[in-house]
Amino acid sequence: MPSVALKRASFEDLKSHFPLTFPIPSPKSHPDLITTKEIQREEDLLRNPTSFRAWWSAINSTREAFVALQKIEPSSTLPDEVHAILGPLASPLSRLTLQRLTYLYEAALVHFPNSFKLWKSYLNIRSGFVLGKLVIKKRAGGKKKLPEMKDALEEETEDLEDWEDSLDPVVGWEEWRSLVAAFERALMWLPKFPRLWLMYFAIFFHPKCPPLLSHTHARRTFDRALRTLPPSLHFRIWVRYLLWAGRKGGETTVVVYKRYLSVDPSITERFTGLLLSSTNSAPRPLQAAKLLLSLARKAARGEYTSPEGKSPYQLLGDWIDVVEAYSEEVGLDAEETDESNEAIAREVSEAAEAANLNPEPVSKDGQLIRFAGPAVPVKADGTAAQPYDADEDPLSSRRLNIENIIQKDGLAVYKDQAGRLWTGLATYWIKRAEFDRAKKIFEQGIKSVLTIRDFSQIFDSYVEFGESLLNAMMQSLEEEDEDDSGEIMEEVDLRMKELEELTDRRPFLLNDVLIRRNPNDVQEWEKRVALWGKQDEGGKQDEQVANTYSKALETVNPRKATNNLHRLYVNFAKFYEEGGTNGQADEDLESARKIFDKATKVNFKLVEDLAEVWCEWAEMEIRHENYDEAIRIMQRAAAIPKNTKVNYHDHTLSSQARLFKSLKLWSFYVDLEESLGTIESTKAVYDKILELRIANAQIIVNYAAFLEENKYFEESFKVYERGVELFTFPVSFEIWNIYLSKFVKRYAGTKLERARDLFEQALEKCPPKSCKPLFLMYAQLEEDHGLAKRSMAIYDRATQIVADADKFEMFTIYIAKATANFGLPATRPIYERALEVLPDRQTAEMCLRFAALERKLGEIDRARAIYAHASQFCDPRINPQFWSEWNTFEIETGSEDTFREMLRIKRSVQAQFNTEASYLAAQTTAARQGTTKANDDDDVDSQDAMAAAERKAAGGTKGPAFVAATATKLALPDTTAQDELTAAPTANTDEIHISDDEDL
């Protein structure tokens, strides 16, 4: 008790210091306001009261003196509790300074009541002594003018003032009230200055602002500011007003935001967040839900754009979040929902009946009329307005029909994003403990979604719901008595069984989703059949498989189906043929035949699919040894109509009308006839294929081979002739190749003239790139059974006609044959023509062979001339082998002059090829061959004898020596050169030096 009395006494002592500024202090009421040093200043102010500078100097000097005294004044001995209560006015110096500054400012404002500068300074000083020291916040960059309220609110929230060491509102209540009175007097003189209003509003955001000021008085002050300031400045007021209302919560927030939203609905989303905020003393989920639903519908109609960038679907998702969190407060219960759904259904049916029974008369004056539906309200500007809906009115207390809203505004619009909608509706009923209804919703959702993502979302939520419900029952089972545990145990077993069945149904449910998305997906129907085939239901799976096949064939549109629709019919028929899924049932060929017969009447997209059905039907009959029936089936399928001028690729016609031109069908038919029919029937089928002009080269070859096997050789040759008439090159080349080889093999030289005619006929239209084998076969025929002269003539023709890529080989064969038949001298004209015809890179090779021929014949000069001719095509850096061979030739058969001539030609050719491209090619060739370059000018292999001889000749000191051509061996002076060029064991003392600079 003594401590309580002491605290009360100290509190009364602190309160005795106040009020300080009310009434306004003056020298009469407070003698210590003016010191002896300030008497002169007071006299000057009395003499010249209209001098603003004098008053401003007096105020500044007083403020500066206070700051200086604060620095030298010793720290106060008052306890921390007193400092926390009095704040800036804890010391006697600060209280006295406040009175002195108040006296000066008030005296100055008597003479300058309209001075904004004076009022602003005065209010800042007074606020600092009451509200505390203002904390200056550092900002990056300047404050920008924000075009939208959302951004302005976020920016202003960060810029709200913070204070330190403020005055306690209980002890210093008089000072708080006096400060508010000062602001009121300032706004009385300067009502149009928004800066003063904003400074005034800062008081209401102070954490220690007295309740008498921060509630009703603050709201009225904000309203007064909106009425006083022009509309162009209302934006700045509304920013603070909305922030203040958001802090107060409850009815204040609703009323203030409602006023602003009537002008600018862009912050409706922020308003709904405030209605549901945890700091709000009275959350209003129903109003928030209706506002969000209204925004979602407006956004879907294009009448609203979310400042957050949210789509209409996202806004609807926010609404669902509110419904899930506040299901009891927002939505109707199960009975009310059923009644509401029935009422909505009656209204829809009555409106439809009224529109059908009572149509409005046709307009005669040109005005628009309404054909059906209720009257549409119209705005003042003539545009149609939305009718009143209590679901969008936040003032209406009627709760929402969640099922109808999700169905109408969600599932009917967002069919490919329905997973969140179904799970939200199910969660709503789970929160209301309507578990059976939630289960029904889950089942409806799984059976209606169209995407795997939505299915996975619903299925996972469904499983999670089942597991959580099962866990809750298990917990209640532990808490219940043994007498009541029996019923709960049965319920647990039932729920566990349902959960297991749900898990087992997942593949079927997923398959349902894919089939709903595309009912014409043949592969998914096949997967469904496979799923039923894997079930072990005591034989019932056969019934399910049959039902699935039947449903698939009824559902799939043949013109829109995916690939392999015919496989559904074929597999369905095999299902009956093989005795069900496991083969345990009896074979039912009649049902399989009915399915095949039905399949033959289906208008497939591809004729090949229809042909495959007929072939499979015939194969089934063959498997059961019904051979005659298989033949009759193929005869039905291959029936030729009267009008055979049908385009096989004309998709406007049915596949049945184009079936007779299916090569697959005829190929199977002819194979069947070859295996089961007679020779005549097979020939008839082949002839029909040729008459329809659908045969390919393989058919021709097969037909001819079939006739050949049955000893109809001449007829087989006629088939070949028909084939080469039907096809052009390059397809006919293969037929000619087989035909000619078969003909030559059978008749050899007995029908030589006929064979020659056939070869000439084949070569007449044969392109150059394909005629080489025919020429070789033709020449071989003449060589074996005809005349060698004709054979050589054929080879000669071939060298002129074949493609450039084959000419070198053709000349090689021609030369070999000429050598064998007529000897080496007869090949000279062939070589000469080859050098004229072949490209440069092949000419060099042919020249080497030609030169070798001349050397064999002893024509050294002709060989040398050939080397000289070939040198113009051989770059020494790329073709060192040619120059090496020529070098060897000159060493063995030449003289000093001929060797010099060779060197001169080599330098000339090297200069001719001395280009950058040639150099790069030479480098590449050298790299591939693994050679090393001595330097940039020496591009020949260092181990080459020709290169060694040239380097020695260029040095001027050493070089190759020559003797007369009659000598059997060349004597070389240098041992190294001797080893490199001739490998002679001894050196020649009579050395001859040849310089490259010498005139040749």
| DSSP at 168 | P
How large a percentage of the chain has pLDDT more than 90? 26
CA pair distance 272, 319, nearest whole angstrom: 10
Which of 53-62, 164-173, 351-360, 688-697 has the least mean pLDDT?
Answer: 351-360
Which of 159-173, 508-522, 884-898 has the least mean pLDDT?
Answer: 884-898
Long-range contacts of 833-840 (CB under 8 A, 24+ apart): 833/799, 834/799, 834/807, 835/869, 837/799, 837/800, 837/807, 837/811, 838/807, 838/808, 838/811, 839/804, 840/873
Amino acid 480: pLDDT: 67
Which of 226-240, 432-446, 941-955 has the least mean pLDDT?
Answer: 941-955
Average pLDDT over residues 248-254: 87
Q: Which of 656, 739, 662 is nearest to 695 (CA)?
A: 662
Digit-coded pLDDT (tens) for 305-350: 888 888 999 999 999 999 999 999 999 999 999 999 999 888 888 8
Residue 851 banded pLDDT, cuts 50, 70, 90: confident
Write the DSSP string, 668-727.
HHHHHHHHHS-HHHHHHHHHHHHHTT---HHHHHHHHHHHHHTT-HHHHHHHHHHHHHH-
Amino acid 41: pLDDT: 86
Average pLDDT over residues 236-255: 90
Average pLDDT, the chain: 80
Average pLDDT over residues 148-168: 85
What is residue 400's three-state secondary structure?
A: strand
Amino acid 962: pLDDT: 37
Burial pattern 3-17, b for ≥16 Cβ within 10 A else e, equals eeeeeeeeeeebbee
Amino acid 123: pLDDT: 94
Tokens read off for 978: 């001797």
Amino acid 470: pLDDT: 87
Give Cα separations from 462 to 441, 458, 469, 859 (angstroms). Answer: 10, 6, 11, 102
Residue of 896 and 191 predicted with greater confidence: 191
CA pair distance 437, 632, nearest whole angstrom: 60
Q: Which of 622, 618, 631 is nearest to 673 (CA)?
A: 631
CA pair distance 176, 431, nearest whole angstrom: 50
Please state whether beta strands 133-134 and 163-164 pair in parallel, antiparallel, or not at all (unpaired).
Answer: antiparallel
Give Cβ neighbours of residue 118 (< 8 Å, ≥ 6 apart): 52, 55, 56, 105, 108, 109, 112
Average pLDDT over residues 854-867: 77
Digit-coded pLDDT (tens) for 6-17: 344 455 666 666
Amino acid 203: pLDDT: 93
Digit-coded pLDDT (tens) for 791-820: 888 878 888 888 877 878 888 887 888 787
Q: Which of 337, 296, 340, 338 is nearest to 320 (CA)?
A: 296
Amino acid 908: pLDDT: 81
Give Cβ neighbours of residue 571 (< 8 Å, ≥ 6 apart): 526, 529, 549
First to last CA, the chain: 140
Give Cβ neighbours of residue 933 (< 8 Å, ≥ 6 apart): 923, 926, 939
Residue 88 banded pLDDT, cuts 50, 70, 90: confident
What is residue 384's three-state secondary structure?
A: strand
Residue of 416 and 582 predicted with greater confidence: 416
Which stretch, 43-52, 830-839, 972-981, has highest mean pLDDT? 43-52
What is residue 630's three-state secondary structure?
A: helix
Residue 97 carries which side chain, given as an amino acid letter? T
Amino acid 16: pLDDT: 64
Tokens read off for 826: 């007869």
Give Cα separations from 298 to 142, 263, 301, 320, 324 (angstroms). Answer: 36, 16, 5, 16, 22
Residue 940 banded pLDDT, cuts 50, 70, 90: very low
Residue 366 banded pLDDT, cuts 50, 70, 90: low
SS3 content of the chain, % helix, strand, coil (to 5): 70, 0, 30
Digit-coded pLDDT (tens) for 561-601: 888 888 999 999 998 888 887 777 778 889 999 999 999 99
Residue 692 banded pLDDT, cuts 50, 70, 90: confident
CA pair distance 268, 257, nearest whole angstrom: 8
Tokens read off for 108: 């100055």
Q: What is the 3-state secondary structure (H, E, C) of 99-133?
A: HHHHHHHHHHHHHCCCCHHHHHHHHHHHHHHHHCE
Amino acid 917: pLDDT: 55
Amino acid 867: pLDDT: 77
CA pair distance 183, 192, nearest whole angstrom: 13
Digit-coded pLDDT (tens) for 71-82: 877 655 667 787
